[in-house]
Structure 1
Amino acid sequence: MSGVGIVMLVHTALDRAEQVARHWIASGCPVVLHVDKNVDGATFRKFRQALASEPLIRFSKRHRCEWGTWGIVAASQSAAAVMLEQFPDVRHVYLSSGSCLPLRPVEELVDYLAARPRTDFIESATTADVPWIVGGLDFERFTLRFPFSWKKHRYLFDRYVDLQRALGIRRRIPAGLVPHMGSQWWCLTRQTLSAILEDPERAVYDAYFQKVWIPDESYFQTLARQYSTNIESRSLTLSKFDFQGKPHIFYDDHLQLLRRSDCFVARKIWPRADRLYQAFLTDSAGAMKKTEPNPGKIDRIFAKAVERRTRGRPGLYMQSRLPASWAVNSVTSNPYSVFQGFSELFEDFETWLARITGSKVHGHLFAPERAELAGGGHMINGALTDRAEIRDYNPQNYLTNLIWNTRGERQCLQFGPRDNQVIRKTFARDPNAQISVISGAWAVPLFRSNQNFTELRREAAKLQQIEASFLNTLRNQETKARVRIWTMAEFIEAPMEPLQTILDELGPLMPRHLSEAPTLVNLDGFGQFLQNLKNQGMHPYLMGDFPVEQGPVNMPKPPRKPYLVRK
Structure 2
Amino acid sequence: MSVGFIMLVHTALDRSSQIIRHWASHGCPVVVHTDKRVGPKRYRSFVESLSDLENVRFTERLRCEWGTWSLVRATQMVSELMLAEFPEVRHIYFASGSCLPLRPVDDLRSYLDRRPTTDFIESVTTEDVPWAVGGLDHERFTLRFPFSWKRQRLLFDRYVVWQRRLGVRRKIPDGLVPHLGSQWWCLTRQTLSAMLEDPRRAVHDRYFRRVWIPDESYFQTLARLYSRRIESRSLTLSKFDFQGKPHIFYDDHLQLLRRSDCFVARKIWPHADRLYETFLSNDSASMAEAEPSPEKIDRVFAQAVERRTRGRTGLVMQSRYPNEGWENGKTAAPYSVFEVFNALFANFEHWLSRRTGTRVHGNLFHPKRVRYAGNETLFNGALSDSAALRDYNSHAFLGNLIWATRGERQCFQFGPGDVQDISWYMATDSNAQISVITGAWALPLFHSNRNFSAIRKRAAQLQKVESAHLDILRSPHTKARVRIWTLADFVQDPMHHLQSIVDEISPRSARRLTEVPKMVDMNGFGQFLQNLKNQGMKPILMGDFPASNEVSAVPATPQKPYLVR
Q: Same fold (TM over 0.5)?
A: yes
For residue 130 of structure 1, what is the aligned residue in structure 2? 129
Greater CA drift, 95-104 or 122-131: 122-131
Q: 1:526 to 1:206 in 2, by over 3 A?
A: same
> CA–CA distance in 1 between the matches of 2:342 and 2:108?
73
Q: Residues 288 and 315 of structure 1: is their aligned pair in 2 closer, same or farther, counting only changes over 3 Å?
A: farther
Q: Which residue of 2 aligns with 1:6?
A: 5
Aligned to 1:403: 402
* 1:424 aligned partner: 423
Secondary structure of 2:134 counterpart: coil
Per-residue Cα deviation, 1:482-510 (whole angstroms, up to 9, x for no partner)? 11111111212112222122122224344
One-letter amino acid of the structure 2 residue matched with residue 237 of structure 1: T
Q: In 1, are the aligned partners of 2:522 and 2:553 still within 8 Å (CA)?
A: no
For residues 335 and 546 of structure 1, the distance between their equivalents in structure 2, rounded to whole angstroms, comes to 35
TM-aligned CA deviation for residue 539 of structure 1: 2.0
Kept after mapping to 2: 8 A contact 1:311/1:323: no
What does 1:315-326 correspond to in 2, within 5 Å?
315-317=314-316, 322-326=321-325
**CA deviations over 1:295-346 (Å, ceiling 9, x no partner):** 2233233233333334443433479984332332322222211110211111
Structure 2: distance between partners of 1:290 and 1:523: 85
Is the CA contact 2:490–2:497 (under 8 Å) kept in the aligned structure 1? yes
Aligned to 1:183: 182
Query: In structure 1, the residue corresponding to 2:325 is in which secondary structure?
Result: helix
In structure 1, distance between residues paired with 2:15 and 2:505:
59
User: Could you tell me how far apart the structure 1 residues matched to 2:148 and 2:382 are?
Assistant: 50
Q: Distance in 2 between matches of 1:518 and 1:65?
A: 76
Q: 2:310, 2:320 within 8 Å by CA — same for their partners in 1? A: no
Deviations 1:454-498, CA, capped at 9 Å, x for gaps: 222222121111111100000000112111111111212112222
Q: Unaligned stretches of 5+ in structure 1?
A: 559-567
8 A Cα contact 1:340 1:438, kept in partner:
yes
Alignment RMSD (CA, Å): 2.3
> Deviation at 1:278?
0.5
The one-letter code sitting in structure 2 at the alignment partner of 1:41 is P
Per-residue CA distance 1:60-84 (angstroms, 9 max, x = gap) = 3333211111111111112122222
Distance across 1 between alignment mates of 2:531 and 2:348: 28
**How far did residue 215 of structure 1 move?**
0.5
CA contact (8 A) 2:522 2:552 kept: no
Equivalent residue letter for 1:458? K
Distance 1:495 1:157, change over 3 A: same
Q: May I ask how many residue pairs the two structures share in their alignment?
A: 558
TM-score if structure 2 supplies the norm length?
Answer: 0.93
- One-letter code aligned to 1:199: D
- Structure 2 gaps of 5+ residues are 561-565
Displacement after TM superposition at 1:125 (Å): 1.2
Give the match for residue 518 of structure 1: 517
* Structure 2 equivalent of residue 160 of structure 1: 159
Q: Which moved more, 1:132-141 or 1:98-107?
A: 132-141
Q: Which residue of 2 aligns with 1:169?
A: 168
Matches within 5 A, 1:310-349: 310-317=309-316, 322-349=321-348
**Distance in 2 of aligned mates of 1:320 and 1:184:** 28
Check the 8 A contact 1:102/1:266 in 2, yes or no.
yes
Aligned partners of 1:239, 1:78: CA distance in 2, in Å?
24
Q: Which residue number corresponds to residue 459 of structure 1? A: 458
Shift of 1:105: 1.8
Partner of 2:563: none
Contact 2:248 2:267 survives alignment (8 Å): yes
Tell me how far apart the structure 1 counterparts of residues 450 and 505 of structure 2 sit (CA, whole Å). 38
Q: 1:287, 1:401 → 2: CA distance?
A: 52
Return the alpha-carbon distance in structure 2 between the equivalents of residues 503 and 386 of structure 1: 27
Paired with 2:170 and 2:317, the residues of 1 have a C-alpha distance of: 49
Paired residues of 2:237 and 2:266 also in contact (CA < 8 A)? yes
Q: Match for 2:90: what amino acid?
A: R
C-alpha change, 1:456 and 1:287, in structure 2 (3 Å) is farther
**Is the alpha carbon distance of 1:339 and 1:79 closer, same or farther for their aligned partners in structure 2, counting shifts above 3 Å?**
same
Instruction: Give 1:171 deviation, angstroms.
Output: 1.4
User: Letter of the aligned partner of 1:440 in structure 2?
Assistant: G
Instruction: State, as a whole percentage, how many aligned pairs show the same letter.
Output: 64
Amino acid at match of 2:482: V
2:279 counterpart SS class: helix
Work out whether residues 110 and 288 of structure 2, in 8 Å CA contact, stay in contact via their aligned partners in 1. no
